[in-house]
């Protein structure tokens, strides 16, 4: 499940170490329309948003 960081609202995988505290989210924010919008290397193994979930 994706996690939204509470400090900058960036979205990460729950095992990512690039955020200190965050809130699990069941759906990606509407602003995220492609994998490139998830600006963190924790998503690098995904090729498309459809693989996340
Ligand atoms: Zn991350």
pLDDT in tens, 27-45: 999 999 999 999 999 999 9
CB atoms within 10 A of CB 40: 14
More confident residue, 52 or 31: 31
Other CB atoms within a 10 A radius of the CB of residue 13 amount to 17
* pTM given for the model: 0.87
CB count in 10 Å sphere of residue 22 = 19
Q: 30 CA to middle of ligand 1, Å? A: 18
Residue 18: the pLDDT is 95
What does 11-34 look like in DSSP terms, one character per residue?
A: EEETT-SS-SSEEE-SS--TT--S
What's the 27 CA to ligand 1 centre distance in angstroms? 16
Distance 48 CA to ligand 1 centre (A): 16
């Amino acid at each position: 499940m994706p996690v939204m960081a509470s400090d900058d609202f960036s979205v990460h995988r729950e095992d990512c170490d690039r955020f200190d505290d965050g809130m699990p989210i069941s759906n990606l924010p509407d602003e995220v329309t492609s994998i490139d919008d998830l600006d963190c290397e924790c998503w690098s193994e995904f090729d498309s948003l459809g693989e996340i979930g």
